[in-house]
Structure 1
């Protein structure tokens, strides 16, 4: 999927001004109840003062690095309102999931909801729009423009690097247990990135609102092209690895027998532009390393 800058700006302009919190000046102290918004703020040079589940950042996000100054404000919906209030935020970022806390958060600071996933099935394009929104709220419009221009250039550079390389179809999964995976396809951030840099997704069957389907290994194998490469993302629960090795289904899958299986470090599945770039770099490096 190519991000057309004119379409992007039109989309931003179409957003209702009423959807933005109102405060006297740009927000500089932001608490994020969302990893995707937090990774974006870090990439823009304004790390949040607090983030939910900060202690699990290196398990699910990794890059960009979370500054040690960022406070942990609790887990998911069990956030610590006292800790958030003590941080004296100018703005609190929620998602459609955590926005149910809005009534408890608004007495502390204005709340803005970031929504990347919707019926459009274009999370990468939506991430560009939400990055612009965060930039407006934080007074970082210049930094946002530079960041998104740089992202466009890097996606294009990666596409050029891959143009003359071997580009087999890839299946992208998270292991749920030794027999089931979450496989990503249409409407996922990964799909948008594959489209953007000229790669083919091996999984073309239906996916849910979030862009994935949970299937058994046998179903994955049944619908997979013979030349596909299977990419699994960390984290993989420790007990899955040894049981996989003894699984008859796993051992007889052509992708395993052909040695076309690779484990990637963690990438934030439901991230924004920084996660999209991280995945694009990883898949490009992997494909460039394949024998011609």
Structure 2
């Protein structure tokens, strides 16, 4: 795999095992090392198609796209993509076990939020003292919110990946909302953001309707779905959303 350190910081789950080798950058993997490792198969995303020709001289290529951005239901598409990959790898039983664990986490999260107060929810990652990456329609997080029956407070435009960079004051459109911060944002960046006069005046800041969770990859199919469902539901319940 490429970028193991970045994976451990941002993806986290499933945890890496000790036998996985570092292959360098995603955009520029170490072809000499891959050749020496003599893999039976190379699994890659379509975004890395320019690497197909050199990699195909080493091993057969399998393209895997768990996201299908633009499709109506990320959860369905992610399930189909992972099932297809498992079939190619002869690991269909492993897929079934994993899919059951995802369904279990979604069900557990929905149960935790049975008494959620139905406030709409902004989901965002703090970039700096002024800007946030806000997740809306067509995001993986949106699919989980839909499953929980929670309205996404952001109704503005988003990129094909379901997010947009916006100044934090643009979260003033829904004064009744709650904010879910995704990512291990440093205390200083978050403190700087929340102390800005315009931001400090927002109802969800003044009334402390902010909850935080660790990093979750905002694409990648079923593994981040499982992680987000667990972390978000636990945080929202602990943050007083069920009172």
- The equivalent of 2:62 in structure 1 is 112
CA distance in 2, matches of 1:235, 1:97: 27
Q: How many residues align?
A: 240
Is it true that 1:76 corresponds to 2:19 in the alignment? no
1:67 to 17, 22, 39: 17
Which moved further from structure 2: 159-168 or 132-141?
Answer: 159-168
Q: Which SS does the other structure have where 1:72 is aligned? A: coil
Distance 1:171 1:53 in 2: 30
**SS of aligned partner of 1:193:** helix
Higher helix share: 2
RMSD between aligned alpha carbons? 1.9
Aligned to 2:178: 229
Q: Which runs of 4+ in 1 moved over 4 A?
A: none
Matches within 5 A, 1:197-276: 197-221=148-172, 223=173, 225-236=174-185, 240-276=189-225
Aligned residue among 93, 107, 110 for 1:156: 107
Q: Distance in 2 between matches of 1:117 and 1:89?
A: 27
Residue 94 (structure 1) shift = 1.4
Tell me whether 1:144 sits opposite 2:95 in the alignment.
yes
C-alpha deviation, 1:98, in angstroms? 1.6
Long gaps (5+) in structure 2: none
List per-residue Cα deviations over 1:43-65 (Å, max 9, x = no partner): xxxxxxxx111011222012221
Give the structure 2 partner of residue 278 of structure 1.
Answer: 227
**Distance of 2:8 and 2:33 partners within structure 1:** 21
Change in 2 beyond 3 A, CA 1:53/1:217: same
Deviation at 1:237, TM superposition (A): 5.3
User: 1:127-138 counterparts in 2 under 5 A?
Assistant: 127-138=78-89
Relative to the length of structure 2, the TM-score reads 0.90
Contact 1:122–1:188 (CA under 8 A) maintained in structure 2: no
- TM-score, normalised to structure 1, is 0.76
Within a 5 Å distance, the mapping from 1:50-61 to structure 2 comes to 51-61=1-11
Structure 1 unmatched ranges of 5 or more: 1-50
Task: Please give the alpha-carbon distance, in whole angstroms, between the structure 2 residues aligned to 1:274 and 1:104.
Answer: 29
CA distance in 2, matches of 1:161, 1:264: 16
Instruction: Return closer, same or farther for 1:236/1:170 CA change in 2, 3 Å cut-off.
Output: same
